[in-house]
A and B are shown apart, each in its own frame.
Chain A
Amino acid sequence: MTVRPTQRSKNVIKSPIFSRFVALVSPLSTFAPFWHVVRPPRPLFNHPVVVRDPNPKMSKLEPLQTLCKHTGRVWDVSWHPKGQTFASCGEDKTIRIWSKDSDSKWSNKVILTDGHKRTIREIAWSPCGNYLASASFDTTTCIWDKKSGEFECNATLEGHENEVKSVSWSKSGRFLATCSRDKSVWIWEIAEEDEYDCAAVLSAHTQDVKKVVWHPHDDILASASYDNTVKLFKEDQSDNDWVCFATLQGHESTVWSISWDKTGTRIVSCSDDATLKIWQKGQNTEETWKCVCTMSGYHNRTIYDVSWNHSSDLIATACGDDAIRIFKEEEGGDLEAPTFSQVTCIERAHAQDVNCVAWNPLLSDILVSCSDDGEIKLWKFIPE
């Protein structure tokens, strides 16, 4: 039998022993173009599971500035709605407010102390930008305002039995939500100036509630919990009672954070199970939400925070493996089964766990992150 060696086997054959194999291998190699046809099929899931993209496109996240004024872990950063200022908080029980100097470098302008006796876990600016709410492990939430010219704590919301984990203002400015390790979510109605009435105590979760986030324009609240679920709440117009109208089940461990897209029809959630999930609202009803995409294999540890950019639609994640990753939806995808791919990953964005990422609400390519290493970093996203 005469064998015409292929390009590949020519390079390999060095001894006569190998030439015996060539007789076997070469005829097979003529079938090579068909091999891909009989490749084992991808495993079937009830929804598409996105695995790591071997050749991520090269968008860049360029570090702009590193800020280190906090002592100890920085838990959260929050942009002012005008995007010129942001606030940070952490283990050192202080809130710091940062803005740009004339030389366009960020610096610490105000330090708020003595509001809380323990770690400040999260801060949130009101949609009008005049108020700042801070949630603390000391079981209280403080509301700060600048009416006297300087930031002062003019209201303290008490009622939770344990650490308050998160706080969020509704876009209408009518409501404030807080959640706690005591498994409850509280909704506060802003009655008058500095008057906060408890409108509801929601005990739908069975464990520690980690995060509350309001819908981008409606009075709908999403909460994420240690019980592995995300729940959605709204006010029942007939009797003004707040009810849980949807439970998003699918994560296998604690859901740490959630973020709405700009339309409010999708939610991204991140979890201790190292996956991201995209949830899509049903076409006609508000009650049905389903998971349309799971992104697994990208993160190596717990994902502590996720932020969905309302201008560029990019998703940023903060992970316990010290990395910041950016995801983008692939164009032309099915609405019911979208595909997201990683466009960039900064492996050692911080020296320790990244706790929070937040896109600037106006300058849509600016991202701020904070970490257990006590640092806050500003980044600029540069598309490929």
Chain B
Amino acid sequence: MPTDGNLIPIFIALFELVQFDIWGVHIFLKMRLEQLENQNPNVYNKTTDRLITAEEENDDVVDEFDSREIFDLIRNITDPEHPLTLEQLHVVQESLIQVDNANNSIFVNFTPTIPHCSMATLIGLSIRVKLLRCLPARFKVRVEVTKGTHNAENSVNKQLADKERVAAALENPHLIQVINQCISNRKRVSLSQFFRLNY
């Protein structure tokens, strides 16, 4: 089990490489893909689709954002490693989402599948980007690792909360391509295929 100290450079390295080295990204991600960190993740059932009530369809009734709605937005994001959704891997759960409409704040906890997952920042970033694009701009979204589920949670949380670093990361064409791949709900080509095509 790697220690905290060993781990931080790994995903910082992911960011560094992704930021300015096109070949670095490809090689790095390819390496990760060939030897999956978590080979046999637990797979959970999907929840049933939400029943839309007549009241919700009535435009005259103001219905506020709730945790189920936020959950529906992010549950189909795919894991960067596995062809499974974050919901199936229990990375996101409805009970770990808090919505405060009055204060325009949304708080999402996500649980990496293993405590040394080097993809944690990428998963968090995908959730942030998805919510950034789908929600009205008034919302302040905070995405954090569920307490006690990652070796370097403070460092991951700090990076995800830094809007300047998130903005810089999203201007990187290679990184945004990977994120778009994760958040698109379409039946996708697997990531390894995607990179083979691009090679």
CB distance from B163 to the nearest CB of A (A): 7
Question: Is A210 touching B138 in the complex (CB atoms < 8 A)?
Answer: no
A277 at the interface (CB under 8 A from B): no
Number of interface residues of A (CB under 8 A): 25
In the complex, A118 Cα to B158 Cα: how many Å?
23
B161: contacting residue among A118, A121, A272, A372, CB under 8 A: A272
B167 at the interface (CB under 8 A from A): yes
CB distance from A248 to the nearest CB of B (A): 19
Query: Which B153-171 residues sit within 8 Å CB-CB of chain A?
Result: 158, 161-165, 167-168, 171
Provide the residues of chain A in CB contact with B162, threshold 8 Å: 226, 254, 272
Query: Which B132-187 residues sit within 8 Å CB-CB of chain A?
Result: 137-138, 140, 158, 161-165, 167-168, 171
Provide the residues of chain A in CB contact with B164, threshold 8 Å: 121, 165, 210
In the complex, A121 Cα to B165 Cα: how many Å?
11
Question: Is B138 touching A181 in the complex (CB atoms < 8 A)?
Answer: no
B192 at the interface (CB under 8 A from A): no
B20 at the interface (CB under 8 A from A): yes
Query: Which A122-177 residues sit within 8 Å CB-CB of chain B?
Result: 137, 161-163, 165
Question: Is B140 touching A301 in the complex (CB atoms < 8 A)?
Answer: yes
A352 at the interface (CB under 8 A from B): yes
A261 at the interface (CB under 8 A from B): no
Question: Is A137 touching B171 in the complex (CB atoms < 8 A)?
Answer: yes
CB distance from A74 to the nearest CB of B (A): 12
Question: Is A73 touching B158 in the complex (CB atoms < 8 A)?
Answer: no
B168: contacting residue among A181, A253, A254, A373, CB under 8 A: A181
Provide the residues of chain A in CB contact with B165, threshold 8 Å: 181, 208
In the complex, A254 Cα to B164 Cα: how many Å?
12
B137: contacting residue among A163, A253, A351, CB under 8 A: A351
In the complex, A121 Cα to B164 Cα: how many Å?
9
B19 at the interface (CB under 8 A from A): yes
In the complex, A226 Cα to B163 Cα: how many Å?
12
In the complex, A165 Cα to B158 Cα: how many Å?
17
CB distance from A270 to the nearest CB of B (A): 14
B138: contacting residue among A163, A254, A320, A351, CB under 8 A: A351
Contact digits for B1-26, partner A, Cβ 8 Å, 1 yes 0 no: 00000000000000000011000000
A352: contacting residue among B137, B161, B167, CB under 8 A: B137
Provide the residues of chain B in CB contact with A137, threshold 8 Å: 167-168, 171
CB distance from A273 to the nearest CB of B (A): 11
**Known interface pairs A161-B20, A162-B20; A352-B138 also in contact (CB < 8 Å):** yes
A119 at the interface (CB under 8 A from B): yes
Which residue on chain B has the smallest CB distance to residue A320?
Answer: B140
Question: Is A118 touching B138 in the complex (CB atoms < 8 A)?
Answer: no
A119: contacting residue among B137, B138, B161, B167, CB under 8 A: B167
Residues of B within 8 A of A (CB): 19-20, 137-138, 140, 158, 161-165, 167-168, 171
20 A-B residue pairs with Cβ-Cβ distance under 8 Å, sorted by A, are A73-B167, A118-B168, A118-B171, A119-B168, A137-B168, A163-B168, A165-B164, A181-B165, A181-B168, A210-B164, A226-B158, A253-B158, A254-B158, A254-B162, A272-B162, A352-B137, A352-B138, A353-B140, A353-B163, A372-B137
Residues of A within 8 A of B (CB): 73, 91, 118-119, 121, 137, 161-163, 165, 181, 208, 210, 226, 253-254, 272, 301-302, 320, 351-353, 372-373
Given A121-B164, A210-B164, A320-B140, 4 new contacts (CB under 8 A): A119-B168, A272-B158, A302-B161, A373-B137
- Complex A-B, nearest 4 residue pairs according to Cβ-Cβ distance, in ascending order: A163-B168, A137-B168, A118-B171, A352-B137
